[in-house]
Each structure stands twice: as C-alpha cells, then as structure tokens.
Chain A
Amino acid sequence: MEEKRQNRRKRQNRRKRRNRKIQMAKMFLGILLVVCALNLVWPDREFSESENRMLEQRPELSLSGVESGRYMEQYETYQADQIAGRDLWVQLKTHADLLMGKRESGGVFKGKDGYLLEDIKTPDEEQMENNLSAIRKFQESYPDIPMYMMLVPNAANVLSDKLPAFAVTRDQDADFQRIREALDEKLAWVDASQAMEDHKSENIYYHTDHHWTTLGAYYAYQELEETMGLDTGKAPELTPYAVSNSFNGTLSSTSGYETGYEEPIYVYLPEEEEAAPEVVVNYVDEQKKTATLYDTSKLKEKDQYGMFLGGNSGLINIRTTADSTERLLLFKDSYANCLVPFLTPYFREILIVDPRYYYGDITEIMRDNKISSVLFLYNGNTFVEDNSISGVLNNDETE
C-alpha cells in the first residue's frame, strides 16, 4: 500500500515537473515572439521626448564598418533605442531601482521633497588651469576695465539637506575657494554662494531642472548690483508672473525620476511698462532680431527654460534705451539667461558671449564696442568642466 502510494506520488511529481517546464517553454517563446512581432511594426523615432536625446538610427551596412566592428556596435544601440515600447521599459527599470533603494541615476540624485539634484562635478584640473590663466591674462591686457567673476553653486551644494539620506557630494565650496585664490584678486568676486545660502529655504532652484529659478537669479543679481556698484535708482519695481505651470526639466529626463512633476517658470516684469527700458536683442550668428528677452515659443517645447534669451547662442547683442553709457561684456553659460533681464536697466549695451558656441574674435569685440565692464557668470558644474573659455580668450594670440 505504502509503496504504491509513494509510486503514485512520484509519478504525479514527475508529471507536475514536466508540465511546469512545458509552461515555461511556452512563456519564454511567447515573450520572444511578442516582442519580435511588435519590433517589426514599431516605427523608428528620431528623438525621445521623455529622455530628451536623439535616438540611434539604423546604421548603414559597409565593409569597413563590419571589419572594425563599428557597424555591430551601432546596430546594438539602434536596436535597444528603437525597441517596441521603449518608454515603458525605461519606466519599469526606474521603478525597480527605486524599490531596491537606489536614489541616483545618470549622475542625478532623487532627493527629498521632490527635488532632483545634479551631482557636484569634479574639476578637470588641466582645462580649468588653462581657463583660469586665460582669464588672468585677459584681465592683464585690459587693466582699466573692471572685471567680475560670479560662480553660482549648484543645488546639491546649497540644498545639501535635500539630498537622499547619507548621500555625499564633492565639496564645491572648497573648489570655489581654490578658483577664487587662483584668480589672485584680479577679478572682483561676486559672492553668489552667500546669496544662495541666505535664501535656501525659498524656491531658488527648480525641482526637476539643473538651473536656478528666476528668483534665485534675482538674489544673485542683488549681490551683483552691490559689488558692481550699480545705481539702483534706475531699476523699476518688478513683479513676478508665471509664464508656465508645466515645466519638467532636463534632470528629470536624464534620470527618469519625477517625469510627471510640473513646476512654474516666472519672469520678473516692471509694474509700469514704461518704467523699463526698451530692448533690441540681436542674435548675431542666427541673424535674428527681436524686441524681447523672452522666446515664448519655447514654452511649447520640452525644455521650457529655453524661453530665456531663446536658449544658447554664441553671441547675443542687446541694445537698450537705458539712461546709461555703460557697456557690459558677459561670458556665461545658461545660468545667465534668466539673470540678464535684471541687468538691462543699467547698460546701454550688453554683449553676451557663450564660449561653448562662439568662434569669433574677442579682441575685436573689446575694441569696437567700448566695453566698460566684464562679467564672467557660470554655475560651478559647467565652469569646472568647461573646455572653451581659454580658447575664446586666447583667440588673439593664435592669430
């Protein structure tokens, strides 16, 4: 009896195991089949809105490409980039990571209170030394023109209490101190760090973007006004207006976190319109002139921050009707874009150079435009990794 029952049990188990394997085979082949079939009909995309980047396209077959293996590499990237339902796969992964405790993705921390914070970048020492020495030399060639340096700390530095538990970043204050010493007092240091620190409880950085908010820029502008000795009597009273309530920034795209988070973008406009100077903004490379500092068409795109000065251009020339003869030359990254509107009442002309996209001659600009002061305005992460400032400033030497 006992033996019989045992035998039956064994047979049952064997059947069960076999059934299980057959089911697994069906499942495995089913998933392969479904994904392959979807892949065949899924259209290729050029650009991923949610990831904010260009996707790889089908590579062209060539003998040299196959021989070097480049074709195969491109093909692998192509197939992963264009797989059916890519956005869903990405979401699935991000959620699984969060479940495992991960709070960091693509160099972006998923901080507290919905804040995404870009990790503090490590300086590229050689490039930074080149940049700093080029800046020093540039100042020495124009000893009579006052020059200013404003480095803006990044959110992970100022809002370190918003970082995920125990997360540590590089000490950006120490890097700034080193840069300040390297400039050897040749440039007047505008202490944006203090300004940000004083207002850290306010909304001075976007939650989902690596930029500061217009409010953050406003506090830095107050510091700037003091250091540069600008005459505040000229400035009209400003009121903030929200121009968007649906901004989801690039940190969200690079990390995959908080992709549904929407936040406002403000611009600061004078209460009485006639109190402000009129402007003509000339995008020199693009050969485009407008009468406004804002490009509202960008609000319809993914990267709404581009509305400030229309994003990044190599050279922008702003002429104003301000009651002033001063002319400012501004070397900057995109942080400056939302600060420039605060400066228009003080200058007859502002020349804005973004060295990353500028290929012209700086000496010519200095000579032809009667520049009366120079400002360098960067956020820490861009400045320590920049590889274009020295090239632009040394331009006259090579020619």
Chain B
Amino acid sequence: MLFSSIVFLFTFLPIILILYYVLPKGMKNPVLLLGSLIFYAWGEPIYLFLMIFSIIFNYICGLDISRNLGDKKAARKSLVFNVAVNLAVLGFFKYEGFVLNSLNMALPVDIPFREVALPVGISFYTFQILSYIIDVYRGNVKVQKNLLDFALYVTMFPQLIAGPIVKYAEIDEQLHVRTESIGKFGDGAMFFIRGLAKKVLLANTIGMVYTDVAAMAPEDVSVVTAWLGCLAYTFQIYFDFSGYSDMAVGLGKMFGFEFPRNFYYPYVSKSITEFWRRWHISLSSWFREYLYIPLGGNRVPVKKHIRNLLVVWLLTGLWHGAAWNFVAWGLYYGIILIIEKYFLQKKLERLPAVFGHIYSLVLVMIGWVLFFSPSLGGAWEYLKLMFGVGGHGFLDSQALYLVVSNLGLWVVLILASTPVVYYGYEKYLARKKAVADILIYAGLFLLSIAYLVTETYNPFLYFRF
C-alpha cells in the first residue's frame, strides 16, 4: 500500500488509529505489527512470507550472537553467517538477474535464469535488520527478546517501503517507552500533510513533464528541452522521496515515534560533499557506520582512503538498483567526492557561493541522467542532447511550452527546494498570529486528496510508454 492512496487515507489509517488509541498499552505494539503486515501484504501478498521468514531468522540470530558475545570467535562466526544469509537473500531477489545477465554478456556462456519480481522495501528492511545484528554484535544495543517487538521494528509501516532507514539503536527505547500526545499528533499531521503535498502535488505533476520529454524522439529534443526534462526529474525524485520521508516521520509521530530526518534541502548545497550530507541522510549514515568506518574511514593512507570511498560508493550505487547505470552513478559520486576531498573543496570555499551552487546542481543533474536512463548507452545519448550534439537546436517552441504550461509549478518547485519559504513562514508565525495557517494546511491536504482521487480520471497518463 502507498501512503498516497485513497485506500490508505480513508480506510487503513482511520482504522489503525482508532484501534491504536482505543486498545490498552499492552496491545498497542501488536496492533501496529498486525497493521504493518496487512499494509505490506496489500501490495505484496506473496512476499509477506519472505518477510516473516526474515524476521524469525534474524530474531534467532540476534539471540545467538548475544549468547556468544563472551566468546569472540563464536560471535563473529554467527555474525558472518547471518550477514551472508541476509545479503544472499537480498542478492537473489535484487541482483540475480543483473549478475547473470552481465555474466552471459561478458563470458561465452548462456546461463538460463528467470527474473524474479523485486519484493518492495527489501533493500530498506534488510539494511535495518543488519543495523540491529551488527549493533548486537558490537554490544551497542541489548538483544531484543520479544519477537513481536522485533517484528514491529522490521515491519513498521510508516518507514517500511521507502525509509528512512531507522537504525535499531535509534528506536530501541521507543519500542518500549514512548509518549503519544495530541500536540505530537498535530506535529505529525503537519509533517504528513507537507509530505503528501510534496509527493502528490509537486512530484507527480512535474513527473509528467519528465515522462513527456523522456518519450520524445531524440531528433525532436532541443538543448533547453533536454535540460528541462532533466530538471523535471531532479525535482520529481527529490519531492517524491523526501515527501515520502516526511509522511513517514509524520505517521511515526502520530503513533508516538520519532524517526530521524532524511533530507535537508539538498539542492541548496555548495558542494557534492555537502549534497550527500543533505540527501538520503539515513542511507549515507548507515554506510558510514557499518561500512566506511569499519574499512578504516579516512584514518588510513591516501591510497586506502580512496579505495574505501570507491567501495562505499560502488555499493551505494548498487543499493539503488541492479543495473550498470547505477554502478556508474555510484562511482561518479565516489570520484567527485575524492576530487573534492583532495583538490576542490578549498578552492570552492574561496569562490563566491553562487559558483558552488551552480557547480553542485549541474553535477547532481548529470548524476540524475545516469540514474533515470534505462541503460548507460541511453544516458550517453541523453547527455549528448543536453550538451547540444544533434537534437533540435538550442531552444524551440516545445521547450517554451514546457516552461509556460507549468509556469506556476516551476516557481513553486524552486521555492520549495530552498529553506527560505518554509523557515520564513515559521518565523512569521512566531511573531504574528496567522489565522490562515490552519487553512493553508487544510487546503494542501484537500488539494492533495483531489489529485489522488483524479489519478483514475486520467488513464492515459503513462500510456505513452
């Protein structure tokens, strides 16, 4: 199930809220767990069993590791076994097709295989589970003896399918003790409405511009059109993903949880290093804590440090998807970060800020081309269009139409990508009384519902593909 659906808003959410608040304390976690399983099964009925298997397996492994903590060797063995199984499951469902396909291409073999459908959220919940297992091994957290609570940690529906990746250490306490209040609920509702509006009003609508441009024949695409298409995707992925995270945070608050922040205005960054401190924060911090630092981080000779960065970014790329363009996308960032670290950072800091902004945004947009293209070859073709090789001239009527027929939307997207409007608004509220405040939030909510309702109104939306 998706948050941004009528079924979620007007069937699932009301029922689970009522049950959660009506039932006594001891029943709250079980109700959340049951709801989360239904939430998952709604979209992935078959893979529910895979998830249940994962939960039971890791629950037992956690107990096993913790039992062996006195014996370093045994604990380590337990850990290696567990991590291997988790990665194997992830590998089978996510990377099997990619690996075999690449092998068949590279070697004179033809291994037959059947592509399996990717279980939704598997990358997210596998990483959450690993954070638990590793932290139990490290002695950072106490082992979870209650199977239901552990299951709730893995499946909790607000962050189940699109993050943020909540580390077990961050939520351990809250599984047992947390407070719900009407104030916190209201805070959660505000987060949720902002996230829903980002996803439905901004990401989905600008996504249509990207879809249109992507479907155009290359010879009809002018340079400006290509950049507009890429910019549209740049906005779409940010508002889609960060909107989802905001909804997750908001829903968490409604049930008394506090989740970590996942995005912090990434597009105002002045360098790529800064961009990755602001983009998908929970993923970068997972990689830092469980891979980069164990590899030695930056406290090693230069050569090793470069190796560490490349490994982390190669895997970051692969985490996003099983295809060569994601590998390229990860390495692209790895290389830029190395260059920034060793050469560029100091120079960038001395230049006027506007230069850093443009530099970062252009590199990020080129990165998204690698990300959204169906293949590396496709990315190359698109980049050629952006830099004026072939195509339909520099500026054409199509490009102007894309600007004019979405003028209001572009303005809102730009403003909403910067902290200026939001913090300005909050500051204003702190000084003045704003009766309109609640109307603005209610309006955003109602408008989002209208956009959700009409999704079925327009069955031709993705017809062009």
A positions within 8 Å CB-CB of B: 13, 16, 18, 20-29, 31-33, 35-36, 39, 51, 56, 66-69, 72, 75-77, 79-81, 83, 86, 89-90, 92-93, 96-97, 99-107, 164-168, 256
If A31-B442, A80-B6 touch, whether A90 touches B454 (CB-CB below 8 Å) is yes
> Do the beta carbons of B13 and A32 come within 8 Å of each other?
yes
> Do the beta carbons of A24 and B438 come within 8 Å of each other?
yes
Tell me how far the C-beta of A26 lies from the nearest C-beta in chain B, rounded to whole angstroms.
8
Given contacts A23-B438, A79-B10, 6 further A-B contacts (CB under 8 A): A21-B183, A69-B45, A77-B456, A166-B397, A166-B398, A167-B405
> Do the beta carbons of B10 and A35 come within 8 Å of each other?
yes
> Do the beta carbons of A168 and B401 come within 8 Å of each other?
yes
If A25-B189, A80-B453 touch, whether A36 touches B10 (CB-CB below 8 Å) is yes
Query: Which A residues are in CB contact (< 8 Å) with B407?
Result: 100-101
Tell me how far the C-beta of B337 lies from the nearest C-beta in chain A, rounded to whole angstroms.
37
Q: Does B406 interact with chain A (Cβ within 8 Å)?
A: yes
> Do the beta carbons of A76 and B7 come within 8 Å of each other?
yes
If A36-B14, A69-B43 touch, whether A80 touches B405 (CB-CB below 8 Å) is no
How distant is the Cα of A89 from the Cα of B450 in the complex, in angstroms? 5
Residues 5-51 of B at the A interface (beta carbon under 8 Å): 5-7, 9-11, 13-14, 42-46
Tell me how far the C-beta of A256 lies from the nearest C-beta in chain B, rounded to whole angstroms.
7
Residues 169-214 of B at the A interface (beta carbon under 8 Å): 182-187, 189-190, 192-193, 201, 205
> Do the beta carbons of B456 and A67 come within 8 Å of each other?
no
> Do the beta carbons of A165 and B404 come within 8 Å of each other?
yes
Tell me how far the C-beta of B220 lies from the nearest C-beta in chain A, rounded to whole angstroms.
8
Query: Which A residues are in CB contact (< 8 Å) with B182?
Result: 21-22, 25
The one of A72, A83, A165 that contacts B43, using a Cβ cutoff of 8 Å: A72
Q: Does B449 interact with chain A (Cβ within 8 Å)?
A: yes
Binary per-residue interface labels of chain B (436-460) against chain A in the complex, 1 for a CB within 8 Å, 0 otherwise: 0110011001110111111111101
Query: Which A residues are in CB contact (< 8 Å) with B453?
Result: 80, 83, 86, 89-90, 93
How distant is the Cα of A27 from the Cα of B183 in the complex, in angstroms? 12
B positions within 8 Å CB-CB of A: 1, 5-7, 9-11, 13-14, 42-46, 182-187, 189-190, 192-193, 201, 205, 396-398, 400-401, 404-409, 412, 429-430, 437-438, 441-442, 445-447, 449-458, 460
Query: Which B residues are in CB contact (< 8 Å) with A86?
Result: 453
> Do the beta carbons of A92 and B189 come within 8 Å of each other?
no
Query: Which A residues are in CB contact (< 8 Å) with B5?
Result: 76, 80
Chain A residue nearest to B220 (CB atoms) is: A168
How distant is the Cα of A17 from the Cα of B228 in the complex, in angstroms? 40
> Do the beta carbons of A102 and B450 come within 8 Å of each other?
no
> Do the beta carbons of A167 and B401 come within 8 Å of each other?
yes
Query: Which A residues are in CB contact (< 8 Å) with B454?
Result: 89-90, 93, 256
How distant is the Cα of A269 from the Cα of B270 in the complex, in angstroms? 73
Tell me how far the C-beta of B42 lies from the nearest C-beta in chain A, rounded to whole angstroms.
5
Tell me how far the C-beta of B252 lies from the nearest C-beta in chain A, rounded to whole angstroms.
15
Nearest first, the 9 A-B pairs at minimum CB distance are: A21-B186, A25-B186, A28-B189, A100-B408, A166-B401, A24-B186, A101-B407, A166-B400, A92-B450
Tell me how far the C-beta of B271 lies from the nearest C-beta in chain A, rounded to whole angstroms.
33
The one of A25, A32, A69 that contacts B14, using a Cβ cutoff of 8 Å: A32
If A32-B14, A67-B45 touch, whether A22 touches B183 (CB-CB below 8 Å) is yes
Tell me how far the C-beta of B230 lies from the nearest C-beta in chain A, rounded to whole angstroms.
19
If A101-B409, A106-B460 touch, whether A93 touches B43 (CB-CB below 8 Å) is no
> Do the beta carbons of A28 and B445 come within 8 Å of each other?
yes
> Do the beta carbons of B447 and A96 come within 8 Å of each other?
yes
Query: Which B residues are in CB contact (< 8 Å) with A103?
Result: 405
Using a Cβ cutoff of 8 Å, how many contacts connect chains A and B? 157
Query: Which A residues are in CB contact (< 8 Å) with B10?
Result: 32, 35-36, 39, 79, 83
Query: Which A residues are in CB contact (< 8 Å) with B412?
Result: 100
> Do the beta carbons of B6 and A83 come within 8 Å of each other?
yes
How distant is the Cα of A16 from the Cα of B409 in the complex, in angstroms? 32
> Do the beta carbons of A89 and B437 come within 8 Å of each other?
no
The one of B190, B409, B456 that contacts A80, using a Cβ cutoff of 8 Å: B456
Query: Which B residues are in CB contact (< 8 Å) with A79?
Result: 6-7, 10-11
Query: Which A residues are in CB contact (< 8 Å) with B45?
Result: 66-69, 72
Query: Which B residues are in CB contact (< 8 Å) with A97?
Result: 205
Tell me how far the C-beta of A259 lies from the nearest C-beta in chain B, rounded to whole angstroms.
13
> Do the beta carbons of A93 and B451 come within 8 Å of each other?
yes
Query: Which A residues are in CB contact (< 8 Å) with B451?
Result: 93, 96
> Do the beta carbons of A80 and B189 come within 8 Å of each other?
no
How distant is the Cα of A363 from the Cα of B78 in the complex, in angstroms? 78
Chain A residue nearest to B410 (CB atoms) is: A101
Query: Which B residues are in CB contact (< 8 Å) with A35?
Result: 9-10, 449
15 A-B Cβ contacts within 8 A? Answer: A20-B438, A31-B446, A35-B9, A67-B45, A69-B45, A79-B10, A80-B6, A80-B456, A89-B453, A90-B457, A92-B450, A93-B447, A101-B408, A166-B404, A167-B397
How distant is the Cα of A27 from the Cα of B187 in the complex, in angstroms? 12
> Do the beta carbons of A80 and B183 come within 8 Å of each other?
no
How distant is the Cα of A27 from the Cα of B192 in the complex, in angstroms? 13
Most buried by B among A69, A99, A165, A166: A166
How distant is the Cα of A36 from the Cα of B449 in the complex, in angstroms? 13
Tell me how far the C-beta of B396 lies from the nearest C-beta in chain A, rounded to whole angstroms.
8
How distant is the Cα of A167 from the Cα of B189 in the complex, in angstroms? 40
Tell me how far the C-beta of B41 lies from the nearest C-beta in chain A, rounded to whole angstroms.
9
If A25-B186, A28-B186, A69-B45 touch, whether A168 touches B398 (CB-CB below 8 Å) is yes
Tell me how far the C-beta of A341 lies from the nearest C-beta in chain B, rounded to whole angstroms.
33
> Do the beta carbons of B186 and A23 come within 8 Å of each other?
yes
Query: Which B residues are in CB contact (< 8 Å) with A93?
Result: 447, 450-451, 453-454, 457
The one of B190, B449, B458 that contacts A89, using a Cβ cutoff of 8 Å: B449
How distant is the Cα of A32 from the Cα of B453 in the complex, in angstroms? 14
How distant is the Cα of A107 from the Cα of B192 in the complex, in angstroms? 32
Query: Which A residues are in CB contact (< 8 Å) with B43?
Result: 69, 72
> Do the beta carbons of A31 and B186 come within 8 Å of each other?
no
Query: Which B residues are in CB contact (< 8 Å) with A107?
Result: 460
Query: Which A residues are in CB contact (< 8 Å) with B192?
Result: 28
> Do the beta carbons of A100 and B449 come within 8 Å of each other?
no
How distant is the Cα of A93 from the Cα of B205 in the complex, in angstroms? 11
Chain A residue nearest to B430 (CB atoms) is: A13
Query: Which B residues are in CB contact (< 8 Å) with A66?
Result: 45
Query: Which B residues are in CB contact (< 8 Å) with A39?
Result: 10
How distant is the Cα of A93 from the Cα of B10 in the complex, in angstroms? 19
If A24-B190, A51-B457 touch, whether A67 touches B6 (CB-CB below 8 Å) is no
Query: Which A residues are in CB contact (< 8 Å) with B460?
Result: 106-107
Most buried by A among B190, B445, B457: B457
Query: Which A residues are in CB contact (< 8 Å) with B457?
Result: 51, 90, 93, 106, 256
How distant is the Cα of A363 from the Cα of B11 in the complex, in angstroms? 57
Query: Which A residues are in CB contact (< 8 Å) with B458?
Result: 105-106
> Do the beta carbons of B185 and A25 come within 8 Å of each other?
yes
> Do the beta carbons of A80 and B452 come within 8 Å of each other?
yes
Tell me how far the C-beta of B412 lies from the nearest C-beta in chain A, rounded to whole angstroms.
8
> Do the beta carbons of B406 and A102 come within 8 Å of each other?
yes
How distant is the Cα of A18 from the Cα of B445 in the complex, in angstroms? 20
> Do the beta carbons of A22 and B186 come within 8 Å of each other?
yes
